Chains A and B, each alone.
Chain A
Amino acid sequence: MSAQNNSGLQPPNTSAAPAPSRFRSGMMGRLLTPGLVVILVAIIAAMIYGATGGAARREAWYTVLLFVGLASSLNILLGYTGYVSFGHIVFFGFGGYIGFFAIYQLGWNLLPASLLGGAAAALLALGLGLAILRLRGAYFALATIGINEAMKALVINIPALGGPNGMVLNFGIYASYGGAAQAQWTVYWATAVLTLMVVLTSYIVKKSKFGLGLMAIREDEDAAEVMGVVAPRAKTWAYVISALFPGILGVLFFFKASNIEPAAAFNLNRSIELLVMVMLGGQGTVLGPILGAGGYQLLRTTLLTSDLALFGLKIKDIQLAVAGLLLLIIVLFIPVGFIGWLRSRSTRLRRWLE
């Protein structure tokens, strides 16, 4: 019948031209926004600044870029899809282990080993996604913690991965990367470029039909499915994408550190800090995790290197206390995070703050 050939629902006055819309100019027009410029400038500026002040500055900004990448990847799951993961670091650790193993035992080069680590993390997410993405809310969050701890216990019991002691690279291995100093620079640039790729991916996802489906799931998963969003598939893809990059970043990180061990690879504290970074900057925005991770990481470095004492007591792991306090403040007062708050304040700013 006629519904079949219906070309589109017309408003009563079909003679009027359709109102111009900000999406009309096609895919490129949709992607090229002032907000993208801000994002690119932020990352590239950080990348260059970190590279132009010697080894100490490079080290500080390496961790900033690393956490921007990790937080932005978490944001695809947490911010867009609305699934809170306390165990995101498992992909960093697992990918790191697989890649490290390839370098250490199989003699692979860093590049293929990194890609292997990413693929391993993505595959892990694919398997996990099918199993635990059916859980909602707190159940999912708890499952992610369980997986991180289970993975740590598993690795401790695998002798080939070095058991509880992990693995240590022979320093000579850096020779084929132009020496240890050069290898550090290589990892810095690789991480910087990868972080740029994570952020671009995050941006493209947000602007895509896929991203619209994820955000619909975040707002009301059942209603989204009633409208036709294939939530199980979309969630799984979101999980896989958000796991891929931490896997690669993990290989680079542990290669740079020249050793890997279970406690460092599957560190739940890091996972919680990632959550703080995303929520501090603004979950569901692209710029939020960048600023959140950058700000938090710089603060963290300051706290770690200063002799801060409270009532004469030196507080161990003070950055974690600060993280907890920050999380409390965000959840209580600005649940949308810094960028989310700015966006809600001004429509004019919204174009610039994606």
Chain B
Amino acid sequence: MILEVKNVTKVFGGLTAVNDVSFDLEEGQILGLIGPNGAGKTTLFNCINGIYPLTKGSVIFRGQQLNGLPTYKVADLGLARTHQIVRPLNELTVRENVMVGACFGRKNMGLGQATEVADEVLAFVGLDKRAGLLANSLNVAQKKRLEMARALAAQPYLLLLDEVLAGLNPTEVTGMVDTIRKIREQGITIIMIEHIMHAVMNVSDRVIVLNYGTLIAEGTPAEVQGNQEVIEAYLGDPDLAERLLEEERG
């Protein structure tokens, strides 16, 4: 197991954002993490990579306890992530953004090697033509790619993707899904939070579903898609329920 999440609970004031969630992740897999808005998906990521201290439970990554480690330590161990709300280093160039990932991630590369890796990764996500521009000149879709490029440049064992498909048009979604598959082919394990059902169902080996912080279903995409509780959970989110139903129809 590359990652073991055991009874993770996160309470904000009176709100239990993540409630006693446990799951294991095998190396080389893509795990889809779905659930309605506010279900606690991003919070779960924040618990895994050390942004929030856990209220209860533990996270074990490649045999090592992550509890209480600062985020930079977690990055050093080979866990990289993207942010749902993009966080580009605005006044640095696109290439420099990616070099930060390469220089300070698992491999701790020097500047020379980091430059080469940055250029490779930028070509891989299709941002090579913008390498010299400031990051704040990118549009949102490009910034999502930049998030991904930075995480990849760290050459992590485990990659957490938080809604990298949101806000992309259908062509861009197809391109990104393709990219995600290629990343897995590199041997990188992935957890992806996603709202776009067909994409998540297509690409994931397994899917887990959060609702109000609780894990309500776990299984193959087909199993989860037929789960009554999951459909009901999404009915609380009319927009998503509609999309889900539409996808089932067509």
Contact = CB atoms under 8 A, between A and B. Distances in A.
A44 interface: no
Contacts of B182: 12
Contacts of A230: 72, 104
B96 interface: yes
Contact of A212 (B81, B103, B106): B103
Interface residues of A, number: 38
A162 B111 CA distance: 50
A268 to B, nearest CB: 29
A18 B100 contact: no
B187 A2 contact: yes
Contact of A213 (B104, B110, B117, B124): B104
Given A3-B187, A23-B111, A23-B112, A227 B154 contact: yes
B83 interface: yes
Contact of A6 (B96, B108, B112, B155): B155
Contacts of B83: 223, 226
Interface in A200-241: 208-209, 212-213, 215-216, 218-220, 222-231
B188 A209 contact: no
Contacts of A2: 28, 186-187
A23 B115 contact: yes
A228 B105 contact: yes
Interface in B178-215: 182-183, 186-189
Contacts of B119: 18-19, 21
Given A9-B186, A209-B110, A224 B100 contact: yes
Interface string B155-190: 111000000000000000000000000110011110
Contacts of A218: 91
Contacts of B99: 212
A30 B87 CA distance: 28
Nearest to B125: A11
B42 interface: no
B71 interface: yes
Category for how many chain B residues contact A = 35 or more
B152 interface: yes
Given A21-B116, A212-B103, A226 B111 contact: no
Contact of B104 (A8, A10, A220, A229): A229
A216 B124 contact: no
Given A209-B103, A227-B105, A219 B91 contact: yes
A209 B103 CA distance: 7
Contact of A225 (B71, B103, B187, B189): B71
Interface in A220-279: 220, 222-231
B190 to A, nearest CB: 11
B118 to A, nearest CB: 8
B111 A8 contact: no
A228 B120 CA distance: 20
A322 B150 CA distance: 44
Contact of B111 (A208, A228, A229): A208
Contacts of A225: 70-72, 75
A212 B27 contact: no
B71 A9 contact: no
Given A19-B128, A227-B150, A8 B120 contact: yes
A225 B95 CA distance: 18
A9 B70 CA distance: 26
B227 interface: no
A1 B28 CA distance: 8
B76 interface: yes
Q: Which 4 A-B pairs have the closest CB atoms?
A: A2-B187, A228-B104, A228-B75, A219-B89
Interface of A: 1-4, 6, 8-12, 18-19, 21, 23-24, 26-27, 30, 208-209, 212-213, 215-216, 218-220, 222-231, 284
Given A3-B188, A209-B114, A227-B104, 20 more contacts: A1-B27, A3-B78, A3-B157, A8-B117, A19-B119, A23-B112, A209-B103, A209-B110, A212-B100, A212-B103, A219-B88, A219-B91, A224-B100, A225-B71, A226-B75, A227-B100, A227-B101, A228-B72, A228-B103, A229-B104
30 contacts: A2-B186, A3-B155, A4-B157, A6-B155, A8-B116, A11-B120, A19-B123, A21-B116, A21-B119, A23-B111, A23-B115, A24-B115, A209-B103, A209-B110, A209-B111, A215-B96, A216-B92, A219-B90, A219-B92, A220-B87, A220-B89, A222-B71, A223-B83, A226-B81, A226-B83, A227-B101, A227-B150, A227-B154, A229-B100, A229-B104
